[in-house]
Structure 1
């Protein structure tokens, strides 16, 4: 075999020196890439696994479990058999309770929607109603946490944190994940926490449940003693001390999170207060959301804030409306709740569509489970995790579609069942993320939002 004379003349020592330089170069290249990524920050925009249909999510979270058979899952036989004995499972012997509200078909699609939502019904052709949702347990804390994190047995990152981790942010001056007036119970901060993901991916809370959103603020956003350049110099000193700690300890995720959060908070000062000022909106827009009217003002403000955040580049915005747990007083409480949210939600959908944002904004409505078709205390319904309804709009879903079915009374899903894991997988898919590839190594295994389950519901995708 012929040998290259240059190689033949190369001594073993020269070869090793050259090879070691190559290894050094590779190491340097790797460090340079790592440094560049660190400089760009963990919130930098990231490529999707495949072309996305949606860029952002607005989650309209209904805490307490709205009754699907009184809102979006029309069951005429339940009404015709009102008062008869229900014969399934532990509820055998209970009396069926027909819905006190009429259902009508709406839009060109003819979707059946209860008279509880006359304004949302005007948007019927944009809605994809999933009437076959399922979750694991009919208890509020577990089901609410599973809806947000995919699992309730252990602390896990919330859906918004996973999206921010997978996609980064569209606006470096704002958090990528905002939760407005979240509940303090049923998991509390775990529902918007980042768990084992880096702390920068956790949600930014604005207010809490029970507080008027007009009074809600981001804590510690302003420095009352220092402004502008003085504040920047003070922060630079603090950050230098933090970085010294990181260099000394080598790996300290907690300090990294503090450094990143301080920088984000500094940048937020210049943009967030103005973004939350709804006085910039026209009177016509405020009226569209029901702002200024007693029944709709608070949720209307949340919906308008959600639109403003989404328009400004926030990836995941969650707003919450509680009080849907009607074991009794169903007629009065569900009527009150629907009145509070109907006009604001219709205003949000209409506004997003008019601004060209609905096409790539996925709007999701739903609670942690539904309610039973049988009565509780004559004017209430118990928890039901075997079959219930959520709906989605925009962001690549098929509008004017009723997907899946529950049985004739609405007790359990019998066609096209969609588990919470499937729902999460589908949301990630619409955002261009493969739920099996969006992973983070922790405790010796690759973790993901859908755990080891979940399938994309192709039937709801346009």
Structure 2
């Protein structure tokens, strides 16, 4: 931080000014740490991914059930037999097997994972993608800074108390591209003329009500027009992708969402979240996890290969997260229930040290035995990997201080920075 920014930030903090709405209208504009990732691809497993049947196999313990373990590219790192493709990428993965939380319901767990805060009726907290854009701004000015892809992409937190321009663009079906991005009513020249007329009519109102809310609404409208005319709009259209490439990622919404995420990152989008729901396996856990992991294994493996081959992996942090794990004890319906006490998440790319497992659960998978990681600690690690000032406080409209990872501390051994 330079001297001018330091004085501006600390002065506003001491006086209790609202940094998010007054002092910094567009972004906080902190310089990224050298070696930090410039983009984030966040793969969210909605419903609670079974840790024991994916990244935390428990050998011959009776709680493990019928799922076998397989060896991987990384020495001493085993995965579930459901993840044979990712087994070839463990040299890139930092697997955190000691995640722990107290949020055992879906909404609360989802919210906590994305924001580091408990749900409150009085405030909405920003998600990590909004923080990333807030601190470092956009890379490509004509594209949205944050995009959600998938049927479960209604992520809790979103922009929270940040300005509207930090809200993500949501795409439910990656194969349908960006809907309503072309004006069907007017030719470009006529649309430009009408836009100028609209701006003229609005000018007195904007001058009289020179508020952050009106400026944000106006800037969002301008961004929408820029997006409509951007040559990078074609990144949303997968029709020019070869059939072989589509097969590589998997011809399903999650696979095509990961393919779209790679294209958007190539064009400078800061954050892309791709969701894969269906992990709420109270019944028939092993059959359902076999189906879920097939989509996850294929798409994430293709994404990591693609990023590595294009040289983008060093600049792109890939996160695999979920709201909680599943019970080690198998229930009467051959299923696993909600279990926030112990679960797994994964980091790859950017400054992540691959080829390791961090933390450990007990042999029966019921509790964390070594190096517990709370959700804010995991998110602080993400923030540090992205070069965000994770300790920096930003004030909400009610003048309360918040951080990107509430009181969390990064796990330095997972990173090279």
**TM above 0.5:** yes
Equivalent in the alignment of 1:157: 126
Contact 1:242 1:255 (C-alpha < 8 Å) held by counterparts: no
Equivalent in the alignment of 1:257: 216
| CA offset digits 1:199-246 (Å, max 9, x no partner) | 101111112xxxx4323534x432211232322232233334444323
Among candidates 234, 239, 247, match of residue 287 of structure 1:
247
Once the two structures are TM-superposed, the CA of residue 438 in structure 1 deviates from its matched residue by 5.2
How many angstroms apart in 2 are the aligned matches of 1:162 and 1:395? 18
How many angstroms apart in 1 are the aligned matches of 2:30 and 2:294? 41
Cα RMSD of the aligned pairs, angstroms, is 2.1
Matches within 5 A, 1:233-382: 233-251=193-211, 253-269=212-228, 270-271=230-231, 273-291=233-251, 297-382=252-337
Once the two structures are TM-superposed, the CA of residue 277 in structure 1 deviates from its matched residue by 1.7
Once the two structures are TM-superposed, the CA of residue 439 in structure 1 deviates from its matched residue by 2.0
Gap change, CA 1:332 and 1:404, over 3 Å in 2: same
Once the two structures are TM-superposed, the CA of residue 281 in structure 1 deviates from its matched residue by 2.7
Once the two structures are TM-superposed, the CA of residue 448 in structure 1 deviates from its matched residue by 2.1
> Is the aligned partner of 1:205 residue 2:170?
yes
Equivalent in the alignment of 1:455: 409
SS at match of 2:148: strand
Unaligned runs of 5+ in 2: 1-21
Contact 1:63 1:368 (C-alpha < 8 Å) held by counterparts: yes
Equivalent in the alignment of 1:119: 85
TM-score normalised by length of structure 1: 0.80
SS at match of 1:389: strand
Structure having the higher Rg: 1
> Is the aligned partner of 1:396 residue 2:356?
no
Contact 2:282 2:335 (C-alpha < 8 Å) held by counterparts: yes
How many angstroms apart in 2 are the aligned matches of 1:53 and 1:335? 35
> Is the aligned partner of 1:169 residue 2:156?
no
Which sits farther off after the overlay, 168-177 or 435-444? Answer: 435-444
Equivalent in the alignment of 2:51: 68
Equivalent in the alignment of 1:225: 185
| CA offset digits 1:370-399 (Å, max 9, x no partner) | 011112224111111111101111111110
Runs of 4+ in structure 1 deviating by more than 4 angstroms, as ranges, are none
How many angstroms apart in 2 are the aligned matches of 1:240 and 1:424? 45
Equivalent in the alignment of 1:136: 102
Contact 1:52 1:429 (C-alpha < 8 Å) held by counterparts: no
Gap change, CA 1:107 and 1:443, over 3 Å in 2: same
How many angstroms apart in 2 are the aligned matches of 1:374 and 1:273? 48
Equivalent in the alignment of 2:41: 58
Unaligned runs of 5+ in 1: 1-37, 83-96, 292-296
TM-score normalised by length of structure 2: 0.88
| CA offset digits 1:123-144 (Å, max 9, x no partner) | 1111110001122311101000
Equivalent in the alignment of 1:183: 152
SS at match of 1:373: coil
Once the two structures are TM-superposed, the CA of residue 145 in structure 1 deviates from its matched residue by 1.0
How many angstroms apart in 1 are the aligned matches of 2:367 and 2:50? 13
Equivalent in the alignment of 1:3: none
How many angstroms apart in 2 are the aligned matches of 1:340 and 1:373? 23
RCO comparison, higher one (Cα < 8 Å, 6+): 2
Contact 2:99 2:345 (C-alpha < 8 Å) held by counterparts: yes
Contact 2:111 2:156 (C-alpha < 8 Å) held by counterparts: yes
| CA offset digits 1:153-201 (Å, max 9, x no partner) | 24111111111111111101100100012527xxx4644x212111101
| CA offset digits 1:66-93 (Å, max 9, x no partner) | 10011100212xx33x2xxxxxxxxxxx
SS at match of 1:178: strand
Once the two structures are TM-superposed, the CA of residue 442 in structure 1 deviates from its matched residue by 2.9
| CA offset digits 1:388-435 (Å, max 9, x no partner) | 101111111110010011112112222111111111111111111121
Among candidates 26, 33, 42, match of residue 42 of structure 1:
26
Which sits farther off after the overlay, 270-279 or 111-120? Answer: 270-279
Gap change, CA 1:425 and 1:108, over 3 Å in 2: closer
> Is the aligned partner of 1:383 residue 2:348?
no
> Is the aligned partner of 1:214 residue 2:184?
no
Contact 1:171 1:312 (C-alpha < 8 Å) held by counterparts: yes
Which sits farther off after the overlay, 355-364 or 231-240? Answer: 231-240
Equivalent in the alignment of 2:4: none
Gap change, CA 1:50 and 1:438, over 3 Å in 2: farther
